[in-house]
Amino acid sequence: MLQSELTLRRDKIRSLMAQEGIEAALITCNVNLLYTYGRIVGGYLYLPLNAPARLFVKRPNTLKGEYVHPIRKPEQLPELLKENGLPIPAKLMLEGDELTYTEYTRLAACFPETTVVNGTPLIRRARCIKTEMEIEMFRRSGIAHTKAYEQIPSVYVSGMTDRQLSIEIERLMRLEGCLGIFRTFGQNMEIFMGSLLAGDNAMTPSPYDFALGGEGLDSSIPVGANGTLLQPGQSVMVDMGGNFYGYMGDMSRVFSIGKLPEKAYAAHQVCLDIQEAVIESSKPGAVCEDLYNMAIGMVTKAGFADYFMGVGQKAKFIGHGVGLEINETPILAPRMKQELEPGMVFALEPKIVLPGVGPLGIENSWVVTESGAEKLTPCEERIIDLRSGASQF
């Protein structure tokens, strides 16, 4: 990664640090290292407010450079800072919402005379506004994501289960360059690459904070496909995370097994209409809560409120920020007063689940520009019948 890009990212964090009187940051979590150093290492990036960043690395031991120093344990940090002419900071931030309690207290104990604060919200705020390079990675990812999705009808075979189809789609994604790993913020969201929901399985609530759930194949990961046989009259929603360049682009598309009831196509169109209206209003200064309320008003007027964002247990959002993790800010949800800003990237996912049919709706990733929002996932949005030309399984 270009040094100029890393400098830009680090300076975004430094600017926020200066506002809080924070003199240095100690970064050790994978995603934040990727953001500030350009790769994942075992070690610590020390980011002073007014001096070059330094990497104190345990693994790999092949990294070299003027500002790269080997280290065995964090207790060496204060002495290494002094050896390199850096003062011990009066106020230091750690990744408090991401480190374990043991890691946090151990690092804090290395600086007994320092005020240690939680820097996770600050780093996430910096990451919320993407750089031009990051946005370009999203654009490239959206193209690859679309190419994989366009091939989905070619791998469907009559008699498949949702699990079998999911495996074939995961293969398509990997062949187009998807890195596979699905990164989330927090310790309580787990999924493999993404999900495929067919029929009434889409009504099954999940403990995870995703838009829709699914029973899953095992109670150890209760989300997504559950072995449902794909049958005529069912809808199938594919929601695979597009991690092609480290950035988690999000896109959902709906397929059918034969013709669906007319109510299903009407519900799908409502979701498309919601997308159009929300995106038309997604300009700098738009308030996230207002966009959510707009969607609720539209789906209520259309008569599908009971099936919107789940049945029984509903997701209380219609969109979320994406980036190096799938669940970043902004969040389009009640009580979210954050305003959209140029450079924010978010996924908008109005979805309806009809009992006896399955999931309908749409999800695309968008970047906020000075004049509106640009779509990053340019894929066909109509419901595509998988049975056209399918062979027997």
SS3 of 29-81: the string is CHHHHHHHHCCCCEEEEEEECCCCCEEEEEECCCCCCCCEEECCCHHHHHHHH
Q: Tell me what pLDDT residue 187 has.
A: 78
Summarised one tens digit per residue, pLDDT across range 305-360 is 999 999 989 999 999 999 999 999 999 999 999 999 999 999 999 999 999 999 99
Summarised one tens digit per residue, pLDDT across range 109-120 is 999 999 999 999
Q: Do 274 and 302 meet the contact criterion of CB atoms below 8 Å apart?
A: no
pLDDT tier for residue 368 given thresholds of 50, 70 and 90: very high
User: DSSP H helical segments within 176-320, as ranges?
Assistant: 262-280, 288-302
Give the SS3 label for residue 320. Answer: strand
Q: Tell me what pLDDT residue 386 has.
A: 97
- Give the integer Cα–Cα distance in Å for 279 and 272: 11
CA angle 89–93–96, rounded 5-degree value? 150
Architecture of domain 3-127: 3-Layer(aba) Sandwich (3.40)
**Sequence spans of domains, the chain:** 3-127, 129-385
pTM attached to this predicted model: 0.95
DSSP string, 178-218: -------SSSS---SSEEEEEGGGGGS--SS-SSS----SB
Torsions phi, psi of 192, nearest 5?
Answer: -105, 105
Q: Tell me what pLDDT residue 3 has.
A: 92
Q: Tell me what pLDDT residue 327 has.
A: 95
Summarised one tens digit per residue, pLDDT across range 353-367 is 999 999 999 999 999
> 195, exposed or middle or buried, with CB in 10 Å at 0-12, 13-18, 19+?
buried
CA angle 171–177–178, rounded 5-degree value? 70
Residues 6+ apart with CB under 8 A from 112: none
End-to-end CA distance of the chain: 46
Residue 205 pLDDT exceeds 80: yes
Q: Which helix (H) or strand (E) holds 128?
A: helix 120-128
* CA-to-CA dists, residue 319 to 94, 108, 348, angstroms: 28, 36, 4
- Give the integer Cα–Cα distance in Å for 249 and 375: 11
- Give the integer Cα–Cα distance in Å for 36 and 329: 18
Summarised one tens digit per residue, pLDDT across range 53-83 is 999 999 999 999 999 999 999 999 999 999 9
Q: Which helix (H) or strand (E) holds 120?
A: helix 120-128
Architecture of domain 129-385: Alpha-Beta Complex (3.90)
Q: Tell me what pLDDT residue 391 has.
A: 41
pLDDT tier for residue 88 given thresholds of 50, 70 and 90: very high
- Give the integer Cα–Cα distance in Å for 361 and 320: 16
Tokens of 109: 């104990």
pLDDT tier for residue 213 given thresholds of 50, 70 and 90: very high
Summarised one tens digit per residue, pLDDT across range 260-296 is 999 999 999 999 999 999 999 999 999 999 999 999 9
Q: What is the rounded average pLDDT of the residues 214-224?
A: 95
Tokens of 297: 């008003």
pLDDT tier for residue 133 given thresholds of 50, 70 and 90: very high
Summarised one tens digit per residue, pLDDT across range 18-61 is 999 999 999 999 999 999 999 999 999 999 999 999 999 999 99
Residue 390 pLDDT exceeds 80: no
Q: Tell me what pLDDT residue 392 has.
A: 38
Q: Tell me what pLDDT residue 36 has.
A: 98
Beta strands 345-348 and 68-70, pairing class: unpaired
